[in-house]
Amino acid sequence: MNLLQAVRKLLGRDELPAGFAGTLDADERVLASAAVVGGGHLVVTSRGLWLPGPDGVGRLGWHLVSKATWSGGALTLVEAQERADLGGIVLLADLPPRRMRLADPGRVPETVHARVEGSIRSRHHRDLPGGGAWFVQRKVAGRDGTVLQVRADPGTDEAVVRQVAGDVARTLGLA
């Protein structure tokens, strides 16, 4: 290990993989990384996950990771997409799961788990017609405060979810 690598380790910043094309924020720290079988790297930072894709790499913030599981040498991620902002409450919809096999996962699985769970401040499920919805209060890396997210269960009436989310926003003084 050379002096620069030692200093980076002391500062809590791992090395970026060779050829990484993303640009980290000035205060963003690399926590772990692993090569993805088939090409590219998964880079875990204090701000989110840098994921390889057909258009290069992109960062997925921790507050938009609905679920992350590790099984059989692969990390499966469910990314949330922000659909609407209802006066301080964000409605989310999950995208299809994305599975990435990692050549040598190192600390990636446990670091991802800790960061996803660490972003959640509270969660509550409410039964609604046709299903229900999760109300999740999350910390957004790099910002002060939290965001309240609402993720409807499959089959739940979206109009009812919007109505309840709006009521909650008014009750909390967000709208």
Q: What is the pLDDT of residues 98-140, one digit of tens each?
A: 999 999 999 999 999 999 999 999 999 999 988 999 999 999 8
State how many domains the chain has. 1
Q: How confident is the model at residue 3 (pLDDT cuts 50, 70, 90)?
A: low
By the 8 A CB rule, do 134 and 112 touch? no
Q: Which of 78-87, 101-110, 136-145 has the highest mean pLDDT?
A: 101-110
CATH of the domain at 154: 2.30.29.30
Geometric angle at alpha carbon 57, from 35 and 13, rounded to 5°: 65
CA distance 81 to 91: 8
Which residues, listed in sequence order, are joined to residue 135 by a DSSP beta bridge? 124, 150
Q: What is the pLDDT of residues 6-26, one digit of tens each?
A: 555 555 556 899 888 899 999
The residue segments making up the domain with residue 73 are 3-171
- To the question of pTM greater than 0.75 for the whole model, the response is yes
By the 8 A CB rule, do 63 and 139 touch? yes
The closest alpha carbon to 44, from 57, 34, 31, belongs to 31
CA distance 165 to 129: 14
User: DSSP E strands: which ranges in 40-145?
Assistant: 41-45, 48-53, 56-61, 65-71, 74-85, 89-94, 98-101, 120-128, 131-139
